[in-house]
Every structure is written in C-alpha cells, then in structure tokens.
Amino acid sequence: MDDAHAPAARPETDGVTFPPSPRTRRRPAALTGPGRRHPLRTLLRAASWHRRPLAAVAAALAVLTAVSAALPEGPPERTVLVAAHELAGGSVLTAADLQRRPLRAADLPAGALTAAEQAVGRAVSAPVAQGQVLTPLALVAPRAGPASGRVVAPVRLSDPGLVTLLRPGDVVDLVGTDEQGGGASVVARSARVVTVPHVDEETATGSDGGLVLVEVPTGTATALARAAVAGPLTLTWH
C-alpha cells in the first residue's frame, strides 16, 4: 500500500486524555431525558397560559367601558329643601324641620327652595307632609302673637274634612249647634286661624273632628268653650 493512502497515524497521547469534541458532547440526561422540558420553555409556556385570562379580563373591561359610555346619563337632579317631618300649618320653621335632598329636576315645583336660610324663621301656610318640597308660596311671615285683648283658643270642628281646607290667616265665623234644641248660632265672628294641624285620611274620616287654633277676643274664648260642650262646631269663611 502506498504511503499516500495509508491511514494517518494517531498522535501519541502518552497517557494524556483529551476532552470530547463539542459536536459529540452529550447533554445531561436530566435535561434531555424522556418527559423532560427545558426550564425556559416551561416558563414561557406558563406565562402564555397566564396571559390568556388576563387578556379576557381586559377585553371584558373594555366592553363594559364602551357600554357605559353609550348609555344615556340619568335625569338631572337638584338639591332642594324638604320637610324633615310633618308640620302643622302655622308652624315656624327651624333648622331641625328641614332637610336638603337631591331630586329629579323635572319633578320639582317652580321656585323650590334650596337653602335653609330661605325658610328658617318663616311659618308654613298649611300642613306640610314629611318630604314635601318647600316653595315660597308655602311660607308666610310669622305672626308675633295675638293682638291686644285677644287670645288663642282651641276649636274642635265636627267635620275634620274642613280642617284640610283651612290655611293660617283665614278669617272665619265659628258656628255652634245645640244637639238638644237643634238650633245653630254664630259663637265667634271674624276668628283668625292661627295653626292648622296635619290631617291624614284616617283622621279626616273619623268622628273625633279636627282641632284648630284660632285667635278670638278674650270673652269669645269662653263662649267657644261652652258651645263645644253643648254640641259640635262648624265654620263659615269670610
């Protein structure tokens, strides 16, 4: 055999071990064995799975935002003054009688009051229900007290429905009836209504009548008391 085709002689190692070639170096079995995945690939796969629910949540939020923007806004509101509790006609208002409450502007009466300063110290001209909106028409200037020679007397009317028609400041004639004799007569002329209590439907249809405070001359108050014992009282307007 020619020297040119003779196999190359292996270098003498003299007992020295050379490291394997990078091409022939085998990966550790822990990373390349059956059922094993590269840690980086596992991490990327886990991150991909977590991104899916996050993307779904983000999409849902975007839809909700779009729907909220498309919905029409609620009706405009105004904060106005209402009665904190039932008020008898003629009552002089204090801060404890009032509340500020937001209500639909379209449902408010004209001139609805908005600040307590507009109502405190004034009197309501008629009974006011709890939560009723206060307006300038519902208020009057308070009266200091009965005039000289006059007193305020309670009168219970035979028809409680009449009470709902009265307003503080009304001038009426009070008529007494004699249940035994059947006659009727004017007991007090030009009596001024001072306070009208709130009357609900049950009271208005009852038989106990409605109590009203009126301003009358001192002597007339005694006559009213006697007439109330003799029979029921009614009234007529001036």
For residue 222, tell me if it sits in a domain: yes
- The per-residue pLDDT for 60 is 73
pLDDT in tens, 169-187: 889 999 998 777 677 899 9
- 101 contacts 117 by C-beta, under 8 angstroms: no
Per DSSP, what are the bridge partners of residue 193? Answer: 214
Same domain, 127 and 163: no
CA distance 116 to 118: 5
Average per-residue pLDDT for the chain:
77
Same domain, yes or no: 83 and 131:
yes
The answer to whether the beta carbons of residues 221 and 194 sit under 8 Å apart is no
Most confident of 6-10, 55-59, 75-79, 192-196: 75-79
pTM of full prediction above 0.75:
no
Is residue 66 scored above 80 in pLDDT?
Answer: no
Same-domain check for residues 158 and 230: yes
For residue 59, is pLDDT > 70? yes
Lowest mean pLDDT among 35-49, 69-83, 95-109, 166-180: 35-49
Query: What is the pLDDT averaged over residues 110-137?
Result: 91
Does residue 42 form part of some domain? no
User: Same domain for 82 and 123?
Assistant: yes
The SS3 of residue 22 is coil
Helix, strand or coil for residue 212? strand
* Same domain membership, residue 190 and residue 218: yes
In a domain, 180, yes or no: yes
Provide mean pLDDT across the span 106-118: 93
The beta strand positions in the chain, using DSSP E, are 77-83, 98-104, 123-124, 139-140, 150-157, 171-177, 184-195, 210-217, 233-237
Does residue 217 lie within any of the structural domains?
yes
| One domain for residues 132 and 161 | no
- For the chain, the domain total comes to 2
What pLDDT shows up at residue 28? Answer: 53
Q: Of 111, 140, 169, which marks where a domain is finished? A: 140
Residues 184 and 205 in one domain: yes
- 207: which 2 tokens? 């038989």
- Residue 160 has a pLDDT of 83
The lowest-confidence range among 36-40, 160-164, 191-195, 231-235 is 36-40
For the chain, percent of residues with pLDDT exceeding 90: 30
Q: Quick one: 136 and 172 in the same domain? A: no
Whether the Cβ atoms of residue 203 and residue 209 lie closer than 8 Å to each other: no
pLDDT the model gives residue 132: 95
**Structural domain contains residue 21:** no
Residue 194 belongs to domain spanning = 150-237
Q: Are residues 183 and 227 in the same domain?
A: yes
Average pLDDT over residues 38-53: 58
210-235 pLDDT, tens per residue? 788 899 998 899 999 888 888 889 99
Alpha-carbon torsion (59, 63, 64, 68), positive or negative: positive
Cβ–Cβ < 8 Å for 31, 38: yes
Six-digit token pair at 229?
């014992």
Q: What is the mean pLDDT of residues 10-29?
A: 54
187 Cβ neighbours under 8 A, 6+ residues apart? 174, 175, 176, 220, 223, 224, 227, 233
Residue 96 predicted with pLDDT over 70: yes
CATH number at residue 119: 3.90.1210.10
